[in-house]
Amino acid sequence: PFDVLVIGGGPAGASSAIYAARKGIKTGMVVETFGGQVLETLGIENVIGTPYIEGPQLMCQVEEHVNQYGVDVMKGQRARAIQKKEMIEVELANGAQLKTKTAILATGARWRAINVPGEKEFKNKGIAYCPHCDGPLFKDKEVVVIGGGNSGIEAAIDLAGLAKHIYILEFLPELKADQVLQKKLHALPNVTVITNAATKEITGSTQVEALTYVDRLTNEEHTLVVEGVFILIGLMPNTEWLKDSVELTSRGEILVDKHGATNIEGIFAAGDCTDSAYKQIIISMGSGATAALGAFDYLIRRIE
């Protein structure tokens, strides 16, 4: 059996595997796609100490780092169930069963896509999902934020200090964000809120140039000339497979304590799949380290 089995190969999983393996304990990784969300990121400017790096290059370096420690990396494998018996048992989609003394869940999250024409073509070419990451690219430009929930309104407030003008498109008749955020938003001079707006298409040549939406009350089409579109209609944790095993929040995020421990003894979690307040690369790496140290502490206290 493994001492620590990490599920997931994004920044959180990789960081936990390195921290665990550096303790000299038997560490494995089950990874569907090594690199996680970072593979979808073109330019990263907020990995402290590295002013600029492209996502695929960062994760290539991270993978080399993991490989220096002799971690048993099982790539192209998806975990489909986990349960605690005498040991922790992890079942893979191919039917294999792995046994481990501790597990670290680091399966990340995915942004909900809006699925309109143009979204795929212009990803990283004007379409963005993370204001902390890509906000500065839109300095003095006109942008649309799709989504009037907390993440959309926070993004609009964040972007208002940088962008020239921000249009917020909300599908429903009213914004869903907390009142205090809405109050803050309404005090800003460069924001326009458009409700009952169904995004139809994002267009451009090489970069985003415009967005068309349908007014759901009148059925009229309108076009906004913008250089950026932030799609903030929800971040979904990859935890559907954990519903019957560990405690999740109502949003499906794994509940962890300050050691990264879940409610099941020996099972830890890190990164975007948890209820951490913010979802970023360095935060995931930090929580991965925490979970690995938490697992190690648990192992040395455990009576065999």
Half-sphere exposure of 118 (CA within 13 A, CB side): 22
Instruction: Identify which range of 18-26, 41-49, 172-180, 187-195 contacts ligand FAD by CB under 6 A.
Output: 41-49
Minimum distance from CB of 103 to ligand FAD (Å)? 11
Which residue number has the CB closest to ligand FAD?
108
Minimum distance from CB of 304 to ligand FAD (Å)? 28
Question: Which residues within the stretch 263-302 sit at the binding site for ligand FAD (CB under 6 A)?
Answer: 271-272, 279-282, 284
Minimum distance from CB of 187 to ligand FAD (Å)? 28
Burial of 95 (0-12, 13-18, 19+ CB in 10 A): exposed
Q: What is the chain's percent helix, strand, coil content, to nearest 5?
A: 25, 30, 40
Q: Residues 6 or more apart from 96 whose CB is under 8 A from it?
A: 77
The number of beta carbons lying within 10 Å of the beta carbon of residue 255 is 14
30 binds ligand FAD (CB under 6 A): yes
Instruction: Identify which range of 27-35, 81-89, 152-160, 196-204 contacts ligand FAD by CB under 6 A.
Output: 27-35
Cα three-residue angle 19-281-38, rounded to 5 degrees: 105
Cα pseudo-dihedral 269, 275, 278, 279, rounded to 10: 50
Q: Are 211 and 185 in contact (CB under 8 A)?
A: no
135 binds ligand FAD (CB under 6 A): no
Token representation of residue 255: 């509940």
Q: Residues 6 or more apart from 201 whose CB is under 8 A from it?
A: 116, 117, 118, 211, 212
Instruction: Identify which range of 101-109, 147-155, 187-195, 258-266 contacts ligand FAD by CB under 6 A.
Output: 101-109
Which secondary-structure segment (H or E) carries 127? strand 127-128
Minimum distance from CB of 287 to ligand FAD (Å)? 8
12 binds ligand FAD (CB under 6 A): yes
Total of chain residues touching ligand FAD, rule CB under 6 A: 38
Bridge partners (DSSP) listed for residue 90: 82, 98
Site track for ligand FAD across 102-131, x = CB under 6 A: ----xxxx-x-----------------xx-
Q: Which is nearer to ligand FAD, 280 or 290 (CB)?
A: 280
252 binds ligand FAD (CB under 6 A): no
Which secondary-structure segment (H or E) carries 11? helix 11-21
74 binds ligand FAD (CB under 6 A): no
Residues near ligand FAD, by CB under 6 A:
7-13, 30-34, 36-38, 40-41, 44, 46, 78-79, 106-109, 111, 129-130, 133, 238, 241, 271-272, 279-282, 284
